[in-house]
Structure 1
Amino acid sequence: MKKANSKTIVFITGNFVTHHGWDSWKHYFKEKGFTVYNPSWPHKNAVPAELRNKRPDDYQLAKLSLKDVVNHYEYFINQLSEKPILIGHSMGGLITQILVSRGVAEAAVVIHSVPPLGVIPFEFTFLKSTWKSLGLFTSLDKTYMMSFKDWQYTFTNGMSLEEQKKAYEENTIPESKRVSRGALSLVAKIDFKKPHAPLLFIAGGKDNIMPATLNKRNFQSYKDTGSITGFKEFEGNNHFVLGLPNWQEVASYIHEWLN
């Protein structure tokens, strides 16, 4: 593929976790000569411990919707001097896909992406990992905080207990149930036949919440033969891919693909 001309990267964070999970990635791509931005979601620009101390009925965060988050990133991107490369993880992957469909990216990479509307997630591990975050039969005016037990299954399966605890303390934050439900709404609808910027899908063979099979169906949904799409699976990776020991291997693959 033709080398991406943009030297600007915008990282897009998923839900449940802090945007500081990209810090090592920011340093890596800065050393490669990129200008790097990592904006937080609205009402989340604080360290995880501070955000966890907020009340579950915190009005601003509980009211946040997926549409709000997408528009927040689009506004940020539109202030830049050039179309950036977007790199998004999990729900940030879905947000990236939506932004690609809006034509604001030169190229994009989605890492273990939440699927857009119409890509049916029937895998049991996905259903087990996500149903609590939707907050069915609970108040939408209260945030959702993932328990450590759910974190072990959803993000850090296969890691040692010590590693899981460290990752939980450093990353987890409360989440709006409205954002999670937004993935089931028209906000998450994409025209898969529409031409789009080059788009790379990264999947993990050990990911419970976003299984590689689901990521593969997401990738295969894009139908425009004139647009570039790519797919790469790292067999041993769980959903905590940004902080795994081999994160630099994934980042290096992305850098080579962009080149």
Structure 2
Amino acid sequence: MPKTPVVFIHGLWLHATAWSNWLEMFESAGYDPSAPGYPGDGASVQDTREHPERLAGLGINDLTTAYGNAIADLSAKPIVIGHSLGGLIAQKLLAQGTAAAAIAIDPGQIKGVLRIPLVQLRSGSPALRRPGNRHRAISLTAEQFRFGFGNALPAAESQDLFDRWTIPGPGRPAFEVATSNLRRASASPAAVDTRLDDRGPLLFIAGGADHIVPPAVVKAAAKLYSAGHATTDYHLFPRRGHSMVLDHGWRDVADYSLDWLARQGF
């Protein structure tokens, strides 16, 4: 029997290889997992750091198209699991009918979510503070990573994750998310059709201590889907931050994801 494909989609400022533990775990569970990088991502963290210009200017639609093209080469519709911006892209792929199911972990804010906590604005400031960053690839400092990703971790672990996995990220998606509610749905790359009844199941996972995508934002996104009748679930991991897919507690999140997929028949 063919294995079900699973495609992992990383968010801004993390390299695709940060999914390595998840890839091993899902393969052991009988899936066929892969973690394609963004167009312009190098094969390694170091190579990507040395060529940030290759990521400059990429937007949400560019990334969604790239992952859609990668999925088209698979033997079957995959499960898509996205973190941060990757969680927004996962929702778009599910709505397009490209994916069979989706898990959005600390997902980037979709159009229609009006609440923007102050801590979220501060976390997005490395990209948003200069209009010209829309056309650049932006790198975080260790201090910025600590506030946005590693605030729920010991300082030493936050520094270790920063050293191992961080890469430049295109600034354009941050601006597209920040201005989504000022644009028509047809003109906003962050817009997702949340009213579909014929899409696959969707799980939202939030971290109670997340600064980049606070739990209130994730819950508000999940609530937007209540107008449709397809399965939409929400789960909160208290006291977990935006680093939850790669820090010492990643297995708890992965275990919950696998259990949920099993309950959906995957």
Question: 1:204-253 deviations in whole A, cap 9, x for unaligned?
Answer: 00111111111100111103442001010000210001122221111111
Distance 1:225 1:95, change over 3 A: closer
Q: Matched residues in 2 for 1:106 and 1:172: separation? A: 30
RMSD: 1.7
Letter in 2 for 1:137: P
Amino acid at match of 2:140: M
2:254 is the counterpart of 1:251: yes
Alignment of 1:127-166 (within 5 A): 127-166=121-160
1:1-259 aligned at under 5 Å gives the runs 7-54=4-51, 58=53, 60-183=54-177, 184-185=179-180, 186-195=188-197, 196-259=199-262
AA at the equivalent of 1:246? G
CA contact (8 A) 1:65 1:178 kept: yes
CA distance in 1, matches of 2:194, 2:100: 17
Whether the 8 Å CA contact 2:211–2:242 is kept in 1: the answer is yes
Residue 6 to residue 189, structure 1, CA distance change in 2 (3 Å): farther
Between the aligned partners of 1:242 and 1:8, the Cα distance in structure 2 is: 19
Residues 15-62 of structure 1: CA deviation (Å, up to 9, x unaligned): 1110111000000000000001110100103322222223x6x2x321
Q: Give distance in 2, aligned partners of 1:254 and 1:146.
A: 28
Q: What residue ranges of structure 2 are gaps of 5+ in the alignment?
A: 181-187
Identity of aligned residues (%): 30
Tell me how many residue pairs correspond in the alignment: 252
TM-score calculated relative to the size of structure 2: 0.90
Structure 1's 35 and 148: CA in aligned 2 closer, same or farther, altered over 3 A?
same
- 1:118-165 deviations in Å (ceiling 9; x for gaps): 212321111110122135333544321111111000000032222111
Q: TM-score with structure 1 length normalisation?
A: 0.92
Distance 1:6 1:220, change over 3 A: farther
In 2, Cα distance between equivalents of 1:154 and 1:6: 36
Cα distance 1:139–1:234, how it changes in 2: closer, same or farther (>3 A)? Answer: closer
